[in-house]
Amino acid sequence: MAAVCQPRRALVEIPAPQPKIAARMRRSYLEILSARLAPSPLTRGRNTATNKRVQSLDLSIGGVWRGRLEEQCEKMDDHPTPLSKQQIVQLIRSLILVEQSQEPRIVASDLKYLQEDLQLKKANVYRSIPYSRFGSNRDAHCYRKAYPHLVAFKVSCQEWGQVLLENKEWEAALEHSLMAWRYAGDLPQWDTANHNALREQCYGILAAHSLAALQHYRPDPSRGLELLKRLKMAQLHSQSIVPCIQALERIMGCADDSPMDTK
Examine the pLDDT at 249 and tell me if it is beyond 90.
yes
* Among 21-30, 164-173, 232-241, the least confident range: 21-30
More confident residue, 132 or 202: 202
Out of 8-17, 42-51, 96-105, the most confident range is 8-17
pLDDT by residue (tens digit) across 65-113? 444 444 554 554 454 556 666 666 666 666 665 555 554 444 555 788 8
Instruction: Please tell me the predicted confidence (pLDDT) of residue 36.
Output: 55
As its CATH architecture, domain 103-257 has Up-down Bundle (1.20)
Out of 43-52, 66-75, 235-244, the most confident range is 235-244
Q: Range(s) for CATH 1.20.58.1590 in the chain?
A: 103-257
- Residue 62 banded pLDDT, cuts 50, 70, 90: very low
pLDDT by residue (tens digit) across 181-201? 999 999 999 999 999 999 999
Give the Cα separation of 170 and 115 in Å (integer). Answer: 17
In contact, 237 and 184? CB cutoff 8 Å: yes
Q: Please state the rounded mean pLDDT for residues 123-128.
A: 94
How large a percentage of the chain has pLDDT more than 70? 55
Examine the pLDDT at 146 and tell me if it is beyond 80.
yes
135 burial class (0-12, 13-18, 19+ CB within 10 angstroms)? exposed
Mean pLDDT of the residues in the chain: 75
Examine the pLDDT at 229 and tell me if it is beyond 50.
yes
Phi-psi region of 223 (alpha: psi -120 to 50; beta: other; left: phi over 0): alpha
In contact, 72 and 94? CB cutoff 8 Å: yes
3-class SS shares of the chain: helix, strand, coil, % to 5: 70, 0, 30
